[in-house]
Amino acid sequence: MSELSRRKFLTTSAAAAVYAATNGLAVAADPAPDWTKLVSGNTAFGLNLYGQLKGEAGNLFLSPFSISTALGMAAAGARGKTLEEMVQVMHLPADAPAAFGAVLKSLNEEPDAKKRGFTLSTANALWAQKGYPWKPEYKTLVSDSYAAGLFDVDFISAAEAARGTINSWVEKETREKIKNLLPVGSVTADTRIVLTNAIYFKGDWQTPFEKKQTKDLPFTQADGTKADMPLMHRVGGYLYSENDTLQVLDMPYTGRRVSMTVILPKKADGLPAVEKDLTEDKLASLLKTLRFEKQVHVHLPRFKIEKSFTLNQPLIAMGMKAAFAGADFSGMQTGKEQLSISAVVHKAFVDVNEEGTEAAAATGIVVGTTSVAQPPTPRYFKADHPFLFMIRDQKTGSVLFTGRMESAKV
Protein backbone atom coordinates (compact mmCIF):
# COMPACT_ATOMS: atom_id res chain seq x y z
CA MET A 1 0.00 0.00 0.00
CA SER A 2 1.43 3.39 -0.99
CA GLU A 3 1.98 6.22 1.47
CA LEU A 4 -0.76 8.11 -0.31
CA SER A 5 -3.23 5.25 0.20
CA ARG A 6 -2.57 5.33 3.94
CA ARG A 7 -3.70 8.89 4.38
CA LYS A 8 -6.04 9.35 7.27
CA PHE A 9 -8.74 11.76 8.20
CA LEU A 10 -9.72 13.20 11.53
CA THR A 11 -13.27 13.07 12.84
CA THR A 12 -14.62 14.82 15.93
CA SER A 13 -18.32 14.51 16.68
CA ALA A 14 -21.25 13.66 18.89
CA ALA A 15 -23.94 12.49 16.48
CA ALA A 16 -24.38 9.08 14.90
CA ALA A 17 -25.64 7.76 11.58
CA VAL A 18 -25.66 4.33 10.02
CA TYR A 19 -25.47 3.02 6.48
CA ALA A 20 -26.12 -0.41 5.07
CA ALA A 21 -22.95 -2.34 4.33
CA THR A 22 -23.25 -1.87 0.56
CA ASN A 23 -25.04 1.34 -0.28
CA GLY A 24 -25.89 2.90 3.02
CA LEU A 25 -29.32 3.66 4.45
CA ALA A 26 -31.58 6.27 2.99
CA VAL A 27 -32.71 8.91 5.43
CA ALA A 28 -36.19 7.96 6.58
CA ALA A 29 -39.00 10.14 5.29
CA ASP A 30 -40.95 9.84 8.55
CA PRO A 31 -41.04 13.38 10.01
CA ALA A 32 -41.37 11.97 13.55
CA PRO A 33 -39.23 8.81 13.74
CA ASP A 34 -39.23 6.62 16.83
CA TRP A 35 -35.96 7.28 18.65
CA THR A 36 -36.52 4.52 21.24
CA LYS A 37 -34.19 1.96 19.64
CA LEU A 38 -31.49 4.54 18.99
CA VAL A 39 -31.53 5.79 22.59
CA SER A 40 -31.50 2.22 23.92
CA GLY A 41 -28.55 1.40 21.64
CA ASN A 42 -26.68 4.54 22.65
CA THR A 43 -27.13 3.63 26.32
CA ALA A 44 -25.88 0.08 25.73
CA PHE A 45 -22.87 1.41 23.82
CA GLY A 46 -22.13 3.97 26.53
CA LEU A 47 -22.23 1.40 29.32
CA ASN A 48 -20.04 -1.01 27.32
CA LEU A 49 -17.53 1.76 26.69
CA TYR A 50 -17.62 2.69 30.38
CA GLY A 51 -16.83 -0.96 31.07
CA GLN A 52 -13.65 -0.58 29.03
CA LEU A 53 -12.65 2.59 30.91
CA LYS A 54 -13.57 1.60 34.48
CA GLY A 55 -10.14 0.06 35.06
CA GLU A 56 -8.61 3.54 35.14
CA ALA A 57 -7.91 4.69 38.68
CA GLY A 58 -9.78 7.62 40.12
CA ASN A 59 -12.85 9.57 39.09
CA LEU A 60 -14.32 9.23 35.60
CA PHE A 61 -16.57 11.45 33.51
CA LEU A 62 -17.59 11.30 29.84
CA SER A 63 -20.44 11.96 27.45
CA PRO A 64 -21.64 8.72 25.83
CA PHE A 65 -24.02 10.76 23.70
CA SER A 66 -21.18 12.85 22.29
CA ILE A 67 -19.06 9.81 21.50
CA SER A 68 -21.81 7.79 19.84
CA THR A 69 -22.83 10.81 17.79
CA ALA A 70 -19.29 11.40 16.61
CA LEU A 71 -18.76 7.81 15.62
CA GLY A 72 -22.17 7.80 13.99
CA MET A 73 -21.23 10.60 11.62
CA ALA A 74 -18.18 8.56 10.69
CA ALA A 75 -20.35 5.47 10.24
CA ALA A 76 -22.45 7.44 7.77
CA GLY A 77 -19.55 7.18 5.34
CA ALA A 78 -18.51 3.61 6.16
CA ARG A 79 -19.17 0.56 4.03
CA GLY A 80 -18.59 -3.21 4.16
CA LYS A 81 -17.00 -4.75 7.23
CA THR A 82 -16.11 -1.33 8.60
CA LEU A 83 -19.77 -0.41 8.80
CA GLU A 84 -20.89 -3.82 10.02
CA GLU A 85 -18.55 -3.60 13.02
CA MET A 86 -19.55 -0.02 13.81
CA VAL A 87 -23.24 -0.93 13.70
CA GLN A 88 -22.69 -3.93 15.96
CA VAL A 89 -20.53 -2.14 18.52
CA MET A 90 -22.71 0.98 18.61
CA HIS A 91 -26.04 -0.92 18.52
CA LEU A 92 -27.28 1.33 15.74
CA PRO A 93 -30.81 0.78 14.40
CA ALA A 94 -31.70 0.91 10.71
CA ASP A 95 -33.26 4.37 10.98
CA ALA A 96 -30.37 5.93 12.91
CA PRO A 97 -29.97 9.05 10.69
CA ALA A 98 -33.58 10.13 11.11
CA ALA A 99 -33.67 9.11 14.78
CA PHE A 100 -30.50 11.03 15.57
CA GLY A 101 -31.87 14.04 13.75
CA ALA A 102 -35.03 13.90 15.87
CA VAL A 103 -33.10 13.55 19.15
CA LEU A 104 -30.75 16.40 18.29
CA LYS A 105 -33.66 18.63 17.31
CA SER A 106 -35.39 17.86 20.60
CA LEU A 107 -32.27 18.56 22.67
CA ASN A 108 -31.80 21.93 20.96
CA GLU A 109 -35.48 22.88 20.63
CA GLU A 110 -35.52 25.84 23.02
CA PRO A 111 -32.38 28.03 23.01
CA ASP A 112 -33.82 30.46 25.60
CA ALA A 113 -32.61 29.13 28.95
CA LYS A 114 -35.08 31.35 30.83
CA LYS A 115 -38.04 29.72 29.11
CA ARG A 116 -36.59 26.22 29.38
CA GLY A 117 -35.22 26.51 32.88
CA PHE A 118 -31.76 25.25 31.87
CA THR A 119 -29.20 25.46 29.06
CA LEU A 120 -28.66 22.40 26.86
CA SER A 121 -27.09 22.50 23.43
CA THR A 122 -25.23 20.17 21.11
CA ALA A 123 -23.53 21.30 17.92
CA ASN A 124 -21.90 19.44 15.02
CA ALA A 125 -19.57 20.51 12.25
CA LEU A 126 -17.75 18.92 9.33
CA TRP A 127 -14.27 20.22 8.51
CA ALA A 128 -13.24 18.87 5.11
CA GLN A 129 -10.07 19.19 3.03
CA LYS A 130 -10.89 21.71 0.34
CA GLY A 131 -10.74 20.43 -3.21
CA TYR A 132 -11.02 16.79 -2.10
CA PRO A 133 -13.44 14.48 -3.98
CA TRP A 134 -16.07 14.30 -1.25
CA LYS A 135 -19.43 12.78 -2.12
CA PRO A 136 -22.05 15.56 -2.08
CA GLU A 137 -24.64 13.14 -0.65
CA TYR A 138 -22.42 12.47 2.36
CA LYS A 139 -22.08 16.16 3.12
CA THR A 140 -25.81 16.60 2.62
CA LEU A 141 -26.62 13.78 5.03
CA VAL A 142 -24.37 15.17 7.75
CA SER A 143 -25.79 18.64 7.23
CA ASP A 144 -29.44 17.63 7.07
CA SER A 145 -29.63 14.84 9.67
CA TYR A 146 -27.19 16.30 12.20
CA ALA A 147 -27.56 20.03 11.51
CA ALA A 148 -23.79 20.10 11.03
CA GLY A 149 -22.03 23.16 9.73
CA LEU A 150 -19.88 22.50 6.66
CA PHE A 151 -16.43 24.08 6.53
CA ASP A 152 -13.65 23.76 3.93
CA VAL A 153 -10.14 23.89 5.42
CA ASP A 154 -6.60 23.18 4.21
CA PHE A 155 -5.08 20.34 6.22
CA ILE A 156 -2.43 19.64 3.58
CA SER A 157 -0.82 23.08 3.63
CA ALA A 158 -1.90 24.48 6.99
CA ALA A 159 -2.70 21.62 9.37
CA GLU A 160 -1.80 23.51 12.54
CA ALA A 161 -3.95 26.50 11.60
CA ALA A 162 -6.87 24.14 10.89
CA ARG A 163 -6.38 22.47 14.29
CA GLY A 164 -6.52 25.87 15.97
CA THR A 165 -9.71 26.80 14.14
CA ILE A 166 -11.42 23.56 15.13
CA ASN A 167 -10.32 23.81 18.76
CA SER A 168 -11.62 27.39 18.90
CA TRP A 169 -15.01 26.21 17.62
CA VAL A 170 -15.18 23.49 20.29
CA GLU A 171 -14.17 25.95 23.00
CA LYS A 172 -16.86 28.41 21.93
CA GLU A 173 -19.60 25.76 21.74
CA THR A 174 -18.75 24.43 25.23
CA ARG A 175 -18.61 27.90 26.84
CA GLU A 176 -14.82 27.59 27.16
CA LYS A 177 -15.04 24.40 29.26
CA ILE A 178 -13.35 22.12 26.67
CA LYS A 179 -10.05 23.54 25.47
CA ASN A 180 -7.46 22.06 23.12
CA LEU A 181 -9.58 19.03 22.22
CA LEU A 182 -7.26 18.12 19.37
CA PRO A 183 -3.72 18.01 20.79
CA VAL A 184 -0.57 18.98 18.93
CA GLY A 185 0.24 16.39 16.28
CA SER A 186 -3.29 15.05 15.96
CA VAL A 187 -3.98 17.05 12.80
CA THR A 188 -1.38 16.68 10.04
CA ALA A 189 -0.99 17.00 6.30
CA ASP A 190 -2.49 13.50 6.09
CA THR A 191 -5.74 14.61 7.73
CA ARG A 192 -8.66 14.76 5.33
CA ILE A 193 -11.77 15.41 7.42
CA VAL A 194 -12.71 16.28 10.99
CA LEU A 195 -16.25 15.80 12.24
CA THR A 196 -16.79 17.79 15.42
CA ASN A 197 -19.42 17.74 18.11
CA ALA A 198 -19.74 19.72 21.29
CA ILE A 199 -22.35 19.27 24.01
CA TYR A 200 -23.00 21.69 26.87
CA PHE A 201 -25.39 21.63 29.84
CA LYS A 202 -25.97 24.02 32.71
CA GLY A 203 -28.89 23.69 35.07
CA ASP A 204 -29.90 24.68 38.59
CA TRP A 205 -31.40 22.09 40.91
CA GLN A 206 -35.19 22.23 41.07
CA THR A 207 -34.59 22.83 44.78
CA PRO A 208 -31.03 23.97 45.52
CA PHE A 209 -28.90 22.94 48.47
CA GLU A 210 -28.18 25.57 51.09
CA LYS A 211 -24.49 26.36 51.31
CA LYS A 212 -24.67 26.63 55.08
CA GLN A 213 -25.66 22.96 55.19
CA THR A 214 -22.49 21.88 53.36
CA LYS A 215 -19.88 20.42 55.69
CA ASP A 216 -16.55 18.68 55.31
CA LEU A 217 -17.17 15.05 56.19
CA PRO A 218 -15.20 11.81 55.71
CA PHE A 219 -15.51 10.20 52.26
CA THR A 220 -14.43 6.56 52.00
CA GLN A 221 -12.34 6.29 48.83
CA ALA A 222 -11.98 3.30 46.50
CA ASP A 223 -8.82 2.13 48.26
CA GLY A 224 -10.57 2.13 51.65
CA THR A 225 -8.87 5.26 52.97
CA LYS A 226 -10.90 8.22 54.19
CA ALA A 227 -10.54 11.86 53.20
CA ASP A 228 -12.66 14.89 53.99
CA MET A 229 -14.93 16.20 51.24
CA PRO A 230 -17.58 18.96 51.20
CA LEU A 231 -20.88 17.06 51.44
CA MET A 232 -23.97 19.05 50.55
CA HIS A 233 -27.14 18.24 52.49
CA ARG A 234 -30.88 18.78 52.19
CA VAL A 235 -34.11 16.98 53.04
CA GLY A 236 -36.83 16.91 50.43
CA GLY A 237 -38.98 14.94 48.00
CA TYR A 238 -37.19 12.92 45.30
CA LEU A 239 -37.64 9.91 43.08
CA TYR A 240 -35.95 7.11 45.00
CA SER A 241 -35.58 3.34 45.07
CA GLU A 242 -33.41 0.72 46.70
CA ASN A 243 -32.74 -3.00 46.72
CA ASP A 244 -30.48 -5.29 48.73
CA THR A 245 -27.27 -3.90 47.24
CA LEU A 246 -27.82 -0.29 46.17
CA GLN A 247 -29.85 2.90 46.33
CA VAL A 248 -30.95 5.05 43.39
CA LEU A 249 -31.76 8.76 43.63
CA ASP A 250 -33.03 10.98 40.80
CA MET A 251 -32.52 14.71 41.31
CA PRO A 252 -34.27 17.06 38.85
CA TYR A 253 -32.94 20.32 37.51
CA THR A 254 -35.19 23.34 37.00
CA GLY A 255 -37.74 22.53 34.33
CA ARG A 256 -37.60 18.82 35.28
CA ARG A 257 -36.64 17.71 31.78
CA VAL A 258 -33.05 16.89 32.79
CA SER A 259 -32.03 15.13 35.99
CA MET A 260 -29.03 13.60 37.72
CA THR A 261 -29.40 9.94 38.62
CA VAL A 262 -27.06 8.69 41.36
CA ILE A 263 -26.49 4.95 41.88
CA LEU A 264 -25.02 4.37 45.35
CA PRO A 265 -23.88 0.91 46.51
CA LYS A 266 -24.90 0.15 50.08
CA LYS A 267 -21.40 -1.14 50.85
CA ALA A 268 -18.51 1.31 50.74
CA ASP A 269 -16.55 -1.12 48.56
CA GLY A 270 -19.53 -2.16 46.43
CA LEU A 271 -18.98 -0.01 43.34
CA PRO A 272 -16.90 -2.53 41.33
CA ALA A 273 -19.72 -5.08 41.59
CA VAL A 274 -22.27 -2.50 40.44
CA GLU A 275 -20.04 -1.47 37.52
CA LYS A 276 -19.56 -5.08 36.48
CA ASP A 277 -23.25 -5.93 36.43
CA LEU A 278 -24.76 -2.71 35.04
CA THR A 279 -26.22 -3.18 31.55
CA GLU A 280 -28.75 -1.21 29.53
CA ASP A 281 -31.52 -3.62 30.57
CA LYS A 282 -30.57 -3.47 34.26
CA LEU A 283 -30.37 0.31 34.18
CA ALA A 284 -33.82 0.49 32.57
CA SER A 285 -35.17 -1.86 35.26
CA LEU A 286 -33.67 0.26 38.04
CA LEU A 287 -35.18 3.44 36.63
CA LYS A 288 -38.62 1.82 36.47
CA THR A 289 -38.46 1.17 40.24
CA LEU A 290 -38.11 4.87 41.10
CA ARG A 291 -40.98 6.16 43.23
CA PHE A 292 -41.56 9.59 44.76
CA GLU A 293 -40.57 9.77 48.40
CA LYS A 294 -41.60 12.86 50.36
CA GLN A 295 -38.67 12.82 52.78
CA VAL A 296 -35.21 11.87 51.55
CA HIS A 297 -32.17 12.95 53.57
CA VAL A 298 -29.56 13.58 50.87
CA HIS A 299 -25.83 13.97 51.35
CA LEU A 300 -23.96 14.50 48.07
CA PRO A 301 -20.37 15.66 47.51
CA ARG A 302 -19.62 18.98 45.86
CA PHE A 303 -17.06 18.16 43.17
CA LYS A 304 -15.46 18.88 39.81
CA ILE A 305 -14.07 16.34 37.34
CA GLU A 306 -12.12 16.90 34.12
CA LYS A 307 -11.10 13.92 31.99
CA SER A 308 -9.41 13.32 28.65
CA PHE A 309 -9.45 10.04 26.74
CA THR A 310 -7.97 8.51 23.61
CA LEU A 311 -10.52 5.84 22.76
CA ASN A 312 -8.82 3.87 19.97
CA GLN A 313 -7.94 0.80 22.02
CA PRO A 314 -11.20 0.61 24.01
CA LEU A 315 -13.19 0.73 20.77
CA ILE A 316 -10.98 -1.88 19.12
CA ALA A 317 -11.42 -4.11 22.18
CA MET A 318 -15.19 -3.74 21.78
CA GLY A 319 -14.96 -5.05 18.22
CA MET A 320 -14.55 -1.90 16.11
CA LYS A 321 -11.34 -3.03 14.41
CA ALA A 322 -11.68 -2.41 10.69
CA ALA A 323 -12.29 1.33 11.11
CA PHE A 324 -8.73 1.77 12.40
CA ALA A 325 -6.90 -0.39 9.83
CA GLY A 326 -7.85 -1.25 6.28
CA ALA A 327 -11.09 0.70 6.61
CA ASP A 328 -13.73 1.28 3.96
CA PHE A 329 -15.02 4.85 4.14
CA SER A 330 -15.90 4.97 0.45
CA GLY A 331 -19.29 6.40 1.34
CA MET A 332 -17.52 9.70 2.02
CA GLN A 333 -15.39 10.19 -1.06
CA THR A 334 -14.67 9.02 -4.60
CA GLY A 335 -10.88 9.33 -4.54
CA LYS A 336 -8.25 6.60 -4.57
CA GLU A 337 -6.97 7.18 -1.05
CA GLN A 338 -7.93 4.74 1.67
CA LEU A 339 -9.17 6.54 4.76
CA SER A 340 -8.95 5.04 8.26
CA ILE A 341 -9.58 6.42 11.72
CA SER A 342 -6.29 7.40 13.32
CA ALA A 343 -7.60 8.78 16.62
CA VAL A 344 -10.79 9.13 18.64
CA VAL A 345 -10.32 11.77 21.31
CA HIS A 346 -12.77 12.88 23.98
CA LYS A 347 -12.77 15.49 26.73
CA ALA A 348 -15.40 16.08 29.40
CA PHE A 349 -15.94 18.46 32.33
CA VAL A 350 -18.48 18.56 35.18
CA ASP A 351 -18.99 20.88 38.15
CA VAL A 352 -21.58 19.83 40.76
CA ASN A 353 -22.37 22.33 43.50
CA GLU A 354 -25.16 23.67 45.71
CA GLU A 355 -26.82 25.64 42.89
CA GLY A 356 -26.74 22.93 40.24
CA THR A 357 -24.49 21.40 37.59
CA GLU A 358 -22.44 22.53 34.62
CA ALA A 359 -21.17 19.89 32.20
CA ALA A 360 -19.56 19.88 28.77
CA ALA A 361 -17.88 17.43 26.43
CA ALA A 362 -16.50 17.07 22.92
CA THR A 363 -15.43 14.06 20.88
CA GLY A 364 -12.89 13.74 18.09
CA ILE A 365 -12.30 10.98 15.55
CA VAL A 366 -9.21 11.28 13.35
CA VAL A 367 -9.15 9.38 10.11
CA GLY A 368 -6.40 9.69 7.62
CA THR A 369 -4.78 7.80 4.90
CA THR A 370 -4.51 5.16 6.96
CA SER A 371 -54.62 6.31 48.94
CA VAL A 372 -54.99 7.36 52.73
CA ALA A 373 -52.32 9.79 53.64
CA GLN A 374 -49.64 8.32 55.89
CA PRO A 375 -46.70 10.03 57.58
CA PRO A 376 -43.74 9.87 55.17
CA THR A 377 -41.08 7.27 55.85
CA PRO A 378 -37.71 9.03 55.93
CA ARG A 379 -35.08 7.74 53.50
CA TYR A 380 -31.35 8.31 53.96
CA PHE A 381 -29.09 8.69 50.94
CA LYS A 382 -25.55 9.43 52.06
CA ALA A 383 -23.09 9.40 49.16
CA ASP A 384 -19.98 9.30 51.34
CA HIS A 385 -18.35 6.48 49.38
CA PRO A 386 -17.85 5.64 45.65
CA PHE A 387 -20.90 5.98 43.40
CA LEU A 388 -22.02 6.25 39.78
CA PHE A 389 -23.94 9.21 38.40
CA MET A 390 -25.63 10.12 35.12
CA ILE A 391 -27.14 13.27 33.66
CA ARG A 392 -30.22 12.14 31.70
CA ASP A 393 -32.66 13.84 29.33
CA GLN A 394 -36.10 12.66 30.42
CA LYS A 395 -37.87 13.48 27.14
CA THR A 396 -35.70 11.37 24.86
CA GLY A 397 -34.28 9.04 27.51
CA SER A 398 -30.74 9.89 26.43
CA VAL A 399 -27.84 9.51 28.87
CA LEU A 400 -25.99 12.73 28.09
CA PHE A 401 -23.17 12.30 30.61
CA THR A 402 -22.02 9.58 32.97
CA GLY A 403 -19.34 9.38 35.61
CA ARG A 404 -17.90 7.87 38.76
CA MET A 405 -16.86 9.49 42.01
CA GLU A 406 -14.41 7.38 44.00
CA SER A 407 -11.69 9.76 45.09
CA ALA A 408 -11.76 12.93 47.16
CA LYS A 409 -8.91 14.24 44.99
CA VAL A 410 -10.96 16.20 42.44
**Domain spans of the chain, in order of start:** 4-204+305-369, 211-302+373-405
3-state secondary structure the chain: CCCHHHEEEEECCCCCCCCCCCCCCCCCCCCCCCCHHHHHHHHHHHHHHHHHHCCCCCCEEECHHHHHHHHHHHHCCCCHHHHHHHHHHHCCCCCHHHHHHHHHHHHCCCCCHHHHCEEEEEEEEEEEECCCCECHHHHHHHHHHHCCEEEEECHHHHHHHHHHHHHHHHHHHCCCCCCCCCCCCCCCCCCCEEEEEEEEEEEEECCCCCHHHCEEEEEECCCCCEEEEEEEEEEEEEEEEECCCEEEEEEEECCCCEEEEEEEECCCCCHHHHHHHCCHHHHHHHHHCCEEEEEEEEEEECEEEEEEEECHHHHHHCCCCHHHCCCCCCCCECCCCCEEEEEEEEEEEEEECCCEEEEEEEEEEEEEECCCCCCCCCEEEECCCCEEEEEEECCCCCEEEEEEECCCCC
pLDDT band at 26 (very low <50, low <70, confident <90, very high): very low
| Residue 110, pLDDT score | 81
Q: What's the CATH architecture for 211-302+373-405? A: Roll (2.30)
What pTM, to 2 d.p., does this model score? 0.91
pLDDT (tens digit per residue) in 271-319:
999 999 999 999 999 999 999 999 999 999 999 999 999 999 999 999 9
| Residue 115, pLDDT score | 86
Domains 4-204+305-369 and 211-302+373-405 share a fold: no
pLDDT (tens digit per residue) in 219-253:
999 999 999 999 999 999 999 999 999 999 999 99
Q: What's the CATH architecture for 4-204+305-369? A: 2-Layer Sandwich (3.30)
| Residue 18, pLDDT score | 30
